[in-house]
Chains A and B, each alone.
Chain A
């Protein structure tokens, strides 16, 4: 599904974010990327949906060399990748339904399909009842559910969640992780970056640990800290 080959990244301001990263992530895996702030977790995520380009090395997603895409091809890559954010990035003046449908509208999907897929996505995340609410009326956990619904509404094979539970209490965090797990079991590759030790330890999935831009551990059925 994903291959990172000799990835290095130096930002224009001189900050060195990643050093010679090599990773392979298979189809339908569930992967945690852990590590302190500034370790390079977000940079890796952004490279996968080509928000950032590596300074050197190659990024392959679903057999497509992301580093070589033209600007015109990028939108089509992104239709196959769902992204979930710590701060949700919901559009404030739109209802829950509109927020999710938006992701389909902007890809020019036909109306009938928009309605059907939006309803399905909302049902999957358990937000069908709140479809006509506005984001400001929702709790953090509910907002994150809507954000997830938007990310998966066009059935992407890959879901990226960058610190999805960073603003949530432990109970809600657990619910959101259950939801991501459920999505993973529907044959979607899920990559989650997190600081949260307890969910990593409970879920026991593959853990990639970053520090100062280097992979210092890559372990199947791992815990947050190496033993």
Chain B
């Protein structure tokens, strides 16, 4: 067997076939593009929500504000006491000056707080990190019991809600992606099946002169792969440009929102889309020709 000659034959046949069924091939490629784009949107959405949850998980621990006149020694004792509460991971003392500095750094760019508020309005605080989000309320309650603690804040409820949303998006996205996958597969299969029917004589002759089933199948599988690759590339292009555009807007409108801009992760998403396209096409090509091979087998 001469693998190169065979591959060349298959590719030439696949291209011939795509060209011949022109419009239908374009429709199939378009639908692959749409499906993969939707799949990609879900993927990006899920990744961003997940990112937001982990971001909030690290930033929004329990914050315990203490009385303004607490001295250094009492603060030390309070810190030790809080750190001994079960479930507490670590406790950080945040002097009010530092908190003010951080606050101004984060929001200073957007609004000039120093113009409005001259004095530091913030109290000293402890940042208490707990090990898991579900024990937040209990720990918060225990921290609040210390007489030197004036106020306790935590956003466990918000995290929980976002976590629920993330789960819903993941499950919904997965279900929708699977449905889309099968719908798209069906269209790819039917498109290639048209070319299979158009080439029935070719297939008949191929079988007659002793081509193996796998040899007959290759051109159709490659036809599917080519459609999948084209659909995948188009999908990635659409996703890339629209994501970059969204990223730009979100960054200027909601600068504190943690949007994923990590190029490695995004590349991974795009590669996933591309691979899905190839798989989709490959499977479509394989299935489309299987029935005719089985019938005559």
B146 CB within 8 Å of chain A: no
- The CB with the most chain B CB atoms within 10 A, among A77, A93, A106, A114, is that of A106
Please give, as numbers and ranges, the residues of chain A lying within 8 Å of B114 by CB-CB distance: none
CB distance from A28 to the nearest CB of B (A): 21
Q: Known interface pairs A89-B204, A91-B202, A91-B205. Does A75 touch B5 (Cβ–Cβ under 8 Å)?
A: no
Please give, as numbers and ranges, the residues of chain A lying within 8 Å of B212 by CB-CB distance: 72, 75
Q: Is the interface of B mostly helix, strand, loop or mixed?
A: helix
Contacts across chains A and B counted by CB atoms under 8 Å: 60
Please give, as numbers and ranges, the residues of chain B lying within 8 Å of A93 by CB-CB distance: 16
Please give, as numbers and ranges, the residues of chain A lying within 8 Å of B16 by CB-CB distance: 93
Partner of A110 from the list B5, B206, B213, B215 (CB cut-off 8 Å) is: B5
CB distance from A36 to the nearest CB of B (A): 26
Contact A79 B209 (CB under 8 A): yes
B195-221 CB contact bits vs A (8 Å, 1 = yes)? 000000110111111111101100000
Please give, as numbers and ranges, the residues of chain A lying within 8 Å of B205 by CB-CB distance: 89, 91, 102-103, 150
A77-91 CB contact bits vs B (8 Å, 1 = yes)? 111100100000101
Partner of B210 from the list A89, A91, A106, A111 (CB cut-off 8 Å) is: A106
Contact A78 B208 (CB under 8 A): yes
Contact B210 A107 (CB under 8 A): yes
Contact A105 B210 (CB under 8 A): no
Please give, as numbers and ranges, the residues of chain B lying within 8 Å of A107 by CB-CB distance: 209-211, 215
Q: Known interface pairs A71-B297, A89-B205, A91-B202. Does A106 touch B2 (Cβ–Cβ under 8 Å)?
A: no
CB distance from A146 to the nearest CB of B (A): 12
CB distance from A118 to the nearest CB of B (A): 13
Please give, as numbers and ranges, the residues of chain B lying within 8 Å of A110 by CB-CB distance: 2, 5
A109 CB within 8 Å of chain B: yes
A76→B211 CA distance, assembly (Å): 8
Contact A106 B215 (CB under 8 A): yes
Contact A102 B209 (CB under 8 A): yes
A14 CB within 8 Å of chain B: no
Contact A91 B201 (CB under 8 A): yes
A49 CB within 8 Å of chain B: yes
CB distance from B214 to the nearest CB of A (A): 9
A85→B263 CA distance, assembly (Å): 61
Interface residue total, chain B, C-beta cutoff 8 A:
21
Q: Known interface pairs A71-B297, A89-B204. Does A106 touch B209 (Cβ–Cβ under 8 Å)?
A: yes
Q: For chain B residues 195-250, which have a beta carbon within 8 Å of chain A? A: 201-202, 204-213, 215-216
Q: Known interface pairs A71-B297, A89-B201, A91-B202. Does A108 touch B2 (Cβ–Cβ under 8 Å)?
A: yes
- The CB with the most chain B CB atoms within 10 A, among A49, A77, A79, A91, is that of A91
CB distance from B12 to the nearest CB of A (A): 10
Please give, as numbers and ranges, the residues of chain B lying within 8 Å of A111 by CB-CB distance: 2, 5
A78→B208 CA distance, assembly (Å): 6
Please give, as numbers and ranges, the residues of chain A lying within 8 Å of B1 by CB-CB distance: 108
A75→B210 CA distance, assembly (Å): 4
A48-87 CB contact bits vs B (8 Å, 1 = yes)? 0100000000000000000000011001111110010000
CB distance from B207 to the nearest CB of A (A): 7
Partner of A109 from the list B2, B208, B213, B216 (CB cut-off 8 Å) is: B2
Contact A75 B207 (CB under 8 A): yes
B107 CB within 8 Å of chain A: no
- The CB with the most chain A CB atoms within 10 A, among B6, B209, B213, B297, is that of B209
Please give, as numbers and ranges, the residues of chain B lying within 8 Å of A71 by CB-CB distance: 213, 297
B103 CB within 8 Å of chain A: no
Contact B210 A78 (CB under 8 A): yes
Contact A106 B204 (CB under 8 A): no
B182 CB within 8 Å of chain A: no
Q: For chain A residues 105-149, which have a beta carbon within 8 Å of chain B? A: 105-111, 114
Please give, as numbers and ranges, the residues of chain A lying within 8 Å of B55 by CB-CB distance: none
CB distance from A70 to the nearest CB of B (A): 10
Q: Known interface pairs A75-B207, A79-B210. Does A108 touch B5 (Cβ–Cβ under 8 Å)?
A: yes
20 additional contacts (CB under 8 A) given A71-B297, A91-B201? A72-B212, A75-B210, A75-B213, A77-B210, A80-B210, A83-B208, A89-B204, A102-B205, A103-B205, A103-B209, A106-B209, A106-B211, A106-B215, A107-B209, A107-B210, A107-B211, A109-B2, A109-B5, A110-B5, A150-B205
Give 11 CB contacts A-B under 8 Å: A71-B213, A71-B297, A75-B207, A75-B213, A76-B210, A77-B210, A78-B208, A80-B210, A106-B210, A107-B210, A111-B5
Which A residues fall within an 8 A CB radius of B? 49, 71-72, 75-80, 83, 89, 91, 93, 102-103, 105-111, 114, 150, 154
4 closest pairs, A vs B, by CB?
A106-B211, A79-B210, A78-B210, A103-B209
